[in-house]
Amino acid sequence: MKLTKPKAIRLFLKCNIILNILILFEIKTFAQKLPNVQTTNLWAPANIKIDGNIKDWPADFKAHNSATDFFYTMANDDKYLYIVIQERDPHIISSMFSGGVTIAVKSFGNKADYGKAVTYPVYDPRLPMYVNFRAKPKVLDSSKTELLQLDSFVRASNLRLTQMSKTIKVANIEGLDSTLSVYNDEGIKAASLFNNKMFYTIEFAISLQRLNLSADKVDKFNYQIKINEVEERGMTINRDETGNITLFKGGANAQVGQSATYFNGEYTLAKKP
C-alpha cells in the first residue's frame, strides 16, 4: 500500500512519539534498578580526567537517588576521592545552576561533624548561568541539518558553561581559602559539561590528604550530596488556595528562591586492585 505524503508524515510523527516514550520508559526502568544510595566502593579508572565527560567512567552509574534525581558514582584511588553526577531533568539542572552542588565529607559516625565541603558550580548572582532548554533543536528524522543544529546548541551551551563555571567554594578544609579557581593546584578539582542529549554532568576530585583520609587504612566516612538552598529576593509571588500563582513581580536583580535537596550516604575507601 502506497502512503500519501500527509499520511506518511503522520505515521512518521506517531512512530517518533512512540520511540520517545520507549526511550523515557527505558531510562526510568534503568533508574529503578539502581540503588538509591551507592552500596559498593570502587577503585577509580586509570588516568581519569576531570572534564565533565563520563567517557573515563564505567558505563553504568552506581546509584540513582530519588531525592535529588542524581545518577552518581563515587570512587577513589590512593590520592583522590572522585564523584561524578549526572542530571537529566532541565528543571533540576536549573536548580543546580542556582544553588550549586555541595559534597560534604564527614567523620564516620560523628553527628557533630559538619563536614569538609566543596561546592560547584558557583556563579555571580548578577550573572547567573541560564540555558533555554525549550530552544533545544528537535531531532525528528536524524537528518544532517537537525544533527548539526543540535550539535551547535550543545557546543554553545558548553562554551557558556566553560566561560562561567570557574569558581569552587570550600568550607572547613584546613589551609585553603573559601574560594578557589577551577585551575587551582590545591587538590580540589571540578568540571561540568552537557552531552549531546543535554544531560548535565559534574565531576569532582578531592584530595584524600585534604580530607584527612587514607586509602591504605581503608578509611570509612559519611557524606552528603546537596543541591543548595537559594534565598528568594526582590520578588512578590501570591498564590490562591490551590497553589496557583495569581501575582508575580520581580525587579532587575530578582532571584527565585529554592529549598535545599540532599541525601546522605557512607563510603569505605577501596583498596588498589
The set of residues, in sequence order, having a beta carbon less than 8 Å from that of 247 and lying 6+ positions away, is 236, 237, 238
Indicate the pairing of strand 101-107 with strand 116-120. antiparallel
Residue listed under C-alpha cell 565533565: 52
Give residue 34's Cα distance to chain centre: 17
Asked, for residue 258, whether it belongs to a domain, the answer is yes
Give the pLDDT score at 113. 85
Give the pLDDT score at 125. 74
Asked, for residue 38, whether it belongs to a domain, the answer is yes
Give the pLDDT score at 204. 98
Asked, for residue 27, whether it belongs to a domain, the answer is no
Asked, for residue 205, whether it belongs to a domain, the answer is yes
User: Rounded to whole angstroms, how far apart are CA atoms 73 and 63?
Assistant: 7
Asked, for residue 5, whether it belongs to a domain, the answer is no
Count of domains forming the chain:
1
Give the pLDDT score at 200. 98
Range of the domain at 206: 34-268
Is the whole model's pTM more than 0.85, yes or no? Answer: no
Q: Which helix (H) or strand (E) holds 145?
A: helix 144-164
The CATH number of the domain holding residue 170 is 2.60.40
Asked, for residue 195, whether it belongs to a domain, the answer is yes
Give residue 158's Cα distance to chain centre: 14
Q: What is the residue-level pLDDT of the chain in tens, covering all 273 positions? A: 555 544 544 444 444 444 444 444 444 554 569 999 999 999 999 989 999 999 999 989 999 999 999 999 999 999 999 999 999 999 999 999 999 999 999 999 887 888 999 999 999 877 889 899 999 998 888 788 899 999 999 999 999 999 999 999 999 999 999 999 999 999 999 999 999 999 999 999 999 999 999 999 999 999 999 999 987 765 566 666 665 655 555 555 556 678 899 999 999 999 998
8-state DSSP, 3: P
Give the pLDDT score at 12. 41
* Under 8 Å between Cβ of 253 and 127: no
Give the pLDDT score at 21. 45
Indicate the pairing of strand 167-171 with strand 200-207. unpaired
Asked, for residue 164, whether it belongs to a domain, the answer is yes
What is the 3-state composition of the chain as percent helix, strand, coil, each rounded to the nearest 5? 25, 30, 45
User: Rounded to whole angstroms, how far apart are CA atoms 273 and 261?
Assistant: 35
Indicate the pairing of strand 179-181 with strand 200-207. unpaired
Asked, for residue 91, whether it belongs to a domain, the answer is yes
